Amino acid sequence: MANPLYDGLFGAHAGKTLPFLHLQDGQVITYHEFLTMAARFANAMARLGLQPGDRVAVQVEKSPEALAIYAACAQAGLVFLPLNTAYTVDELSYFIEDSGASLIVCDGGNAVPLGDLATKLGAKCETLNADGSGTLKDLARDLPDVFATVDRGGDDLAAFLYTSGTTGRSKGAMLTQNNLLSNARTLVGEWQFTADDVLLHALPIFHTHGLFVATNVTLAAGGSMFFLPKFDLDQIIERLPDATTMMGVPTFYTRLLGDDRFTRELAAHMRLFVSGSAPLLAETHIQFEKLTGHRILERYGMTETNMNTSNPYDGERRAGTVGFPLPGVELKITDPESGDSLPTGEVGQIEVRGPNVFKGYWQMPDKTAAELRQNGFFITGDLGRIDTEGYVHIVGRNKDLIISGGYNIYPKEIELVLDDQPGVLESAVIGVPHPDFGETVVGVVVPEPGTTPDTEALMDVVRHSLARFKHPRKIVILDELPRNTMGKVQKNALREKYDGLFAP
Ligand code: MCA
Ligand code: AMP
């Protein structure tokens, strides 16, 4: 009988009365309490008829119960599919339908549209609200607080995480038990996590960073977390004295640096600050060290691969780099045209291989074949180089992607919405520097001859169909888009033109 993910991360703590989650209201949830809550959810899902391998789509606010559904899925051999709480019902419909989810767990506020969708698709729909109440909790309440862990192999699927594509169609990245477990264990070793660590957790739990990096590492080490609903400066400042580590996107660090209450004294006792999901500006790294004496440890990962590289815990954490490949991860720089490896120092596409690399995109064999080579190397779409000392530098992207506050935004998705509107001949969506989010979205719209599009009306349509974080912070009108001789839109020229739009 075995289930590597459940046994390794959760089962290992059975019966422990040590704290796992410290909540904002002062409540503490022990490992034992958490695991019994998860077992009840596993029983509830079994009662709903779910079978190992079924997908469970979850769009709920961050709460201990939400995290317990992840544990319950691992224990019951179900595939956990967390979804950004900002997604609109339009966006959700695609993920739910594409994944063939058997169960949708959503906030009570979405019960009607998602219940209708579930009925249409032959799925079940249950609710779980931010305060932990809901129909799933009601069902779980009276069920046993133990559950016979379902047998699974390391190669079985544990989670689907959707990641957008350059064509505008999202892809479900299939992650196995071993992908998650091996990476968590590697990071515990590399970052020297122990049961004494208390992680300040202010990230969302529907993405790799907050769920697999922060949470799995804490679980694998047997530590605990301050489990905050979201990033809130007041809360961070208040909890920091009792934490030992924090993980965040660069916006966390720039916001902390902008707050007078964040001082050297406040951070003095901290063991480690980790940054990732987006480039940390070297100037932020340096400013942070000047203020606190701590060097932020920057690492690099992807939904498809978990973490690939990290700056060293003990050696020099070098600003503007993402450090070295993690143990067990091979990383090479290749020529985007030929796929051949390039000499040290040259810029090319980053490819990675290792136990962390996903199994492929759900029901998309062509897309999988285009990005995941037969020999196991995954083409990340990032451009980088390795310097003579082995540090990996990310210098750009070979994919049309904007990263705003750590959230990925694929321009094509927004362009498709804009292009569909009356009076719009075509559009180009670009990312420009932003002091808070790192990058932000600008929509460039070319009107049909003789028309003047109403930018407010365009924003209304975008608001209805896409999550808030994807909305252009500005729409500008241009007579025509710059193109090269092949007719391809030159987004670089647009980025240069609007570079200073949000300059502080
Ligand atoms: C919120 N808003 C955003 C973003 N977040 N707009 C653009 N980009 C964003 N990232 C909008 C809200 O809808 C709202 O709109 C306004 O901005 C402020 O909302 P609020 O709730 O106050 O949010 P916030 O505090 O400003 O949020 C910023 C944040 C948050 C704390 C940086 O976005 C965040 O937690 N980001 C982390 C994302 C993450 O976990 N990424 C990991 C992906 P309005 O102004 O209209 O009210 S995993 C990954 O990338 C890989 C694998 C890796 O390597 O980790
Ligand atoms: P996601 O699709 O959310 O998995 O985002 C993965 C992408 O985030 C990578 O392909 C990189 O482009 C970017 N990324 C993650 N960590 C870093 C980092 N430390 N520096 C630069 N880019 C990063």
Q: How far is the CA of 40 from the centre of ligand 1 (A)?
A: 32
Q: How far is the CA of 301 from the centre of ligand 2 (A)?
A: 6
Residue 1 has a pLDDT of 61
Is the entire prediction scored with pTM above 0.75? yes
Find out whether the beta carbon of 163 lies less than 6 Å from any atom of ligand 2: yes
Report the distance separating Cα 280 and Cα 299, nearest Å.
10
Q: How far is the CA of 205 from the centre of ligand 1 (A)?
A: 12
pLDDT along the chain (504 residues), means of 10: 94 98 97 98 98 98 98 98 95 95 98 96 97 97 97 98 81 98 98 98 98 98 98 98 98 98 98 98 97 98 98 97 98 96 97 98 96 97 97 94 96 95 96 97 96 93 94 96 92 96 93
Find out whether the beta carbon of 323 lies less than 6 Å from any atom of ligand 2: no
Q: Is 56 helix (H, G, I), strand (E, B) or coil?
A: strand
Find out whether the beta carbon of 149 lies less than 6 Å from any atom of ligand 2: no
Find out whether the beta carbon of 276 lies less than 6 Å from any atom of ligand 2: yes
For 21, the token pair is 């989650």
Do 239 and 96 meet the contact criterion of CB atoms below 8 Å apart? Answer: no
Give pLDDT tens digits for 257-294: 999 999 999 999 999 999 999 999 999 999 999 999 99
Q: How far is the CA of 405 from the centre of ligand 1 (A)?
A: 5
For 377, the token pair is 């190397």
For 287, the token pair is 């400013």
Give pLDDT tens digits for 21-38: 999 999 999 999 999 999
Q: How far is the CA of 146 from the centre of ligand 2 (A)?
A: 38
Nearest atom within ligand 2 for CA of residue 209: 3
Phi-psi region of 377 (alpha: psi -120 to 50; beta: other; left: phi over 0): beta
Nearest atom within ligand 2 for CA of residue 163: 2
Find out whether the beta carbon of 173 lies less than 6 Å from any atom of ligand 2: no
Ligand 2, atom 12: closest residue by C-alpha: 382
Residue 48 has a pLDDT of 98
Nearest atom within ligand 1 for CA of residue 467: 13
Find out whether the beta carbon of 380 lies less than 6 Å from any atom of ligand 2: yes
Find out whether the beta carbon of 204 lies less than 6 Å from any atom of ligand 2: no
Do 310 and 292 meet the contact criterion of CB atoms below 8 Å apart? Answer: no
Q: How far is the CA of 408 from the centre of ligand 1 (A)?
A: 10
Residue 83 has a pLDDT of 97
In whole angstroms, how far apart are CA 41 and each of 47, 55, 135, 341?
A: 10, 15, 11, 48
Instruction: Round to the nearest angstrom and report the end-to-end CA distance of the chain.
Output: 58
Ligand with an atom nearest the CA of residue 173: 2
Kindly give, in sequence order, each residue whose CB lies less than 8 Å from that of residue 7, ignoring residues fewer than 6 positions away. Answer: 149
Residue 164 has a pLDDT of 79
Residue 131 has a pLDDT of 96
For 35, the token pair is 């695991």
In whole angstroms, how far apart are CA 498 and each of 77, 412, 441, 495?
A: 49, 19, 11, 5
Residue 331 has a pLDDT of 98
Ligand 1, atom 15: closest residue by C-alpha: 468
Residue with tokens 């136990």: 355
Ligand with an atom nearest the CA of residue 401: 2
List strand residue ranges (DSSP E) for 312-364, in order.
324-325, 330-334, 348-353, 360-361
Secondary structure of 101-168 in HEC code, one letter for each residue = CCEEEECHHHHHHHHHHHHHHCCEEEECCCCCCCHHHHHHHCCCCCCCCCCCCCCCEEEEEEECCCCC
Ligand 1, atom 6: closest residue by C-alpha: 469
